[in-house]
Amino acid sequence: MYERKELTRKQVDDVLGGDGAWDNVDQTATQCPVESCGFDKAYFFQLQIRSADEPMTTFYKCTKCSHQWREN
């Protein structure tokens, strides 16, 4: 015999800022990696997601097609 019990999960904040992550961010000149877009402007922000001796990670979002990518 056993009893199945559903456990509730904790609410966890989004590490990258959630819905408001792209509010009030800067723009830069970089090319979108999507072949059909290729636009040359993107929003960006940087976060330290690894240890302090590693470089910051840059997150991009294309201003035209909203594709998101990141670079070390």
Backbone angles phi and psi of 41, in degrees to 5: -135, 145
Q: Which residues are annotated as a binding site?
A: 32, 37, 62, 65
Q: Name the one residue in this structure whose structure tokens are 């723009």.
A: 27
Q: Catalytic residue among 3, 23, 54, 71, which?
A: 54
């056993």: which residue's tokens?
Answer: 2
| Known active-site residue 26 | no
Which residues belong to the annotated binding site for Zn(2+)?
Answer: 32, 37, 62, 65
3 state DSSP class of 46: strand
Instruction: List the catalytic residue out of 3, 13, 35, 53.
Output: 53
Q: What gap in Å lies between CA 44 and CA 22, rounded to an integer? A: 8
* Residue 40 falls in the annotated catalytic set: no
Residues assigned a catalytic role: 53-54
